[in-house]
Amino acid sequence: MRRGQVIAGIVFYGGLVLLMASILLQFLADVLPDGTARRIGFNSEGFVLALIVAGWIQFARPRLRRSRTEWPATLLVGLVLVAVGVGLLVTDLPSRFRTLNETFLAAGLVVPYLQLPRPLPRWVPLAISGTFFAVIVLFSRTELVTGLAETLGALVLLPLAVDVFDRHILDADARPSGGRYGFYAALVLVPITFSVLERVLDPGGVLHPITRYGVRLHESFICVVLVVAYFAVLRAVQNRASSGRHSVPAGALAR
């Protein structure tokens, strides 16, 4: 791995691990104002899911591809992640730990999806995202779907991210989507819009449950933003290194 990619990985993984340690061990408020620390802590699910998704894509997926242990290992990891999620859900641990149950449930379902060979038919990610989006729309007022908001949000957004708008993350030969910048903008603007609607405008009536559920999806958006941004940085570092190797040294043409 090139030096720039190593540095990016240290910053990304090290930064998220340090951030999660500060949240779970409750020393984030010692270095940040209480309000800021609390708001960051609310997004812990997104940070952990980003760690799992990015780590699997970068390290586990390429090592398992086309090996005899690829699918036994992938499915075993998926089952372990789901088991951790269920275990956190039924424990009496403090809420800052228990809230991660949705993260591990989502990761247990996402990891086998990420391991599928690419390219996928375009309808596959659209069908998966559309199905889970329909579940959210139709059953968002039920206790189960409300409790699994971050899980369902990840199952809507991640297939769109890695197989529709930024396919290069999983398929180096894929051509970039022309709509990816609109998708990136939506990843930032949608959660901000829901936050403004709930906390500033405070709409009532039929909009209230919609905005409330939208706010619960924030962690899913944060996860996807972090993953997409990280692999964009890795790609930029790789492209820069590649162009540098093939460039003509300064002054060479004058000799």
Q: What is the 3-state secondary structure (H, E, C) of 126-193?
A: HHHHHHHHHHHHHHCCCHHHHHCHHHHHHHHHHHHHHHHHCHHHCCCCCCCCCCHHHHHHHHHHHHHH
* CA–CA gap between residue 71 and residue 60 (Å, rounded): 12
Residue-by-residue pLDDT tens, the chain, 255 positions: 578 899 999 999 999 999 999 999 999 988 888 888 988 999 999 999 999 999 999 999 999 999 999 999 999 999 999 999 999 999 999 999 999 999 999 999 999 999 999 999 999 999 999 999 999 999 988 998 998 999 999 999 999 999 999 999 999 889 878 899 999 999 999 999 988 887 766 666 666 678 888 888 999 999 999 999 999 999 999 888 777 654 433 333 343
Convert 122-158 to b/e letters by CB count within 10 Å (16 or more is b). eeebeebbeebbebbeeebeeeebbebbbbbbbbbbb
Q: What is the 3-state secondary structure (H, E, C) of 17-47?
A: HHHHHHHHCCCHHHCCCHHHHHHHHCCHHHH
Q: Which two tokens stand for residue 111?
A: 């990891």
Domain boundaries of the chain, sorted by first residue? 3-238
pTM: 0.91
